């Protein structure tokens, strides 16, 4: 390798590595415009007409990103839009944790208050609001879905978005919740090959310094991502491949760096692919 091809200790192939993180939300969310438009229309009908929406599909197909994108737009809106309330039920799987999350979002002081006092205070605040848009992401991870009964029954003028990777989740609900929920279902299908390539290309453009990726190396990442059906696999491979190239002090990310990254991520990737394949089959 020529000296000109070597990175110095002060240089990096990464321009904005945060773009490759799962939580990163781009300014534009491609290939989900139809779903976004439908969700926005449901919210726009508040407070006169509420809605319950179940958003389901395999992992890594843009479900959470789509909801978070809509909610970001709501927060940034200066009009009299519905107030967004986002809950991740994997992180906050119990009612008390959900209440604490809502307290944090509304700036409610939790000091010196019992769980029952906080719950009463939060529900009173929510009932007093003109319009609300709730998102319960990873709702199938909640330990007890009976909390939904309370939100459905006690809070007027709302939209509830439920995000799940389980196609059978709705059928597994208590009949009292299911009969009151009666949600419209929006299916998210895996991205096709061209869409996968385009999404990863856009992330690559902002995450790395220009011109550091060799074409065959990037194609190898995009192909592995498409086969997995999970965009997160592609993001992880982009990041890991860049790190492998930096270990070699290489200014170019080559197919061999991608191969090393795939080996390093093999255990996790195989598990994710197996899960994705099962869920893709479930949704076919």
Specify the pLDDT at position 142.
95
Give the C-alpha distances (Å, rounded to integers) separating 135 from 58, 81, 206, 229, 261.
18, 15, 29, 24, 35
232-249 pLDDT, tens digit per residue, is: 999 999 999 999 999 999
Residues 270 and 216: their CA atoms lie apart, in Å, by: 22
170-194 pLDDT, tens digit per residue, is: 999 999 999 999 999 999 999 999 9
Burial of 86 (0-12, 13-18, 19+ CB in 10 A): buried
Specify the pLDDT at position 76.
86
260-282 pLDDT, tens digit per residue, is: 999 988 755 565 556 655 554 55
Structure pTM?
0.86
Domains, the chain, ordered by start: 33-187 (3.40.50.300), 192-283 (1.10.8.60)
pLDDT over 90 percentage in the chain = 81
């Amino acid at each position: 390798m020529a000296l000109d091809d070597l990175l110095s200790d002060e240089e990096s192939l990464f321009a904005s590595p945060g773009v490759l993180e799962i939580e990163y939300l781009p300014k534009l969310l491609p290939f989900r415009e139809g779903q976004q438009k439908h969700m926005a229309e449901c919210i726009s009908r508040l407070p006169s007409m509420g809605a319950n929406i179940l958003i389901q599909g395999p992992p890594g197909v843009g479900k959470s990103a789509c909801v978070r994108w809509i909610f970001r737009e709501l927060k940034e809106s200066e009009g009299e839009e519905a107030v967004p309330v986002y809950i991740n039920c994997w992180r906050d799987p119990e009612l008390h944790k959900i209440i604490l999350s809502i307290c944090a979002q509304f700036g409610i002081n939790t000091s010196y208050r019992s769980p029952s006092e906080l719950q009463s205070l939060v529900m009173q605040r929510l009932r007093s609001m003109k319009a609300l848009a709730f998102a319960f992401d990873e709702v199938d991870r909640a330990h007890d879905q009976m909390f939904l009964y309370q939100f459905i029954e006690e809070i007027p003028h709302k939209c509830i978005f439920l995000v799940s990777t389980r196609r059978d989740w709705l059928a597994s609900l208590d009949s009292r919740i299911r009969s009151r929920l009666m949600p419209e279902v929006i299916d998210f299908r895996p991205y096709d090959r061209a869409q996968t390539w385009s999404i990863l290309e856009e992330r690559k453009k902002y995450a790395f310094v220009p011109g550091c990726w060799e074409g065959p190396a990037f194609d190898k990442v995009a192909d592995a991502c498409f086969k997995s059906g999970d965009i997160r696999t592609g993001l992880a491979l982009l990041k890991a491949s860049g790190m492998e190239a930096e270990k070699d002090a290489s200014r170019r990310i080559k197919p061999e760096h991608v191969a090393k990254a795939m080996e390093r991520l093999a255990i996790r990737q195989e598990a994710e692919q197996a899960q994705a394949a099962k869920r893709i089959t479930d949704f076919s």
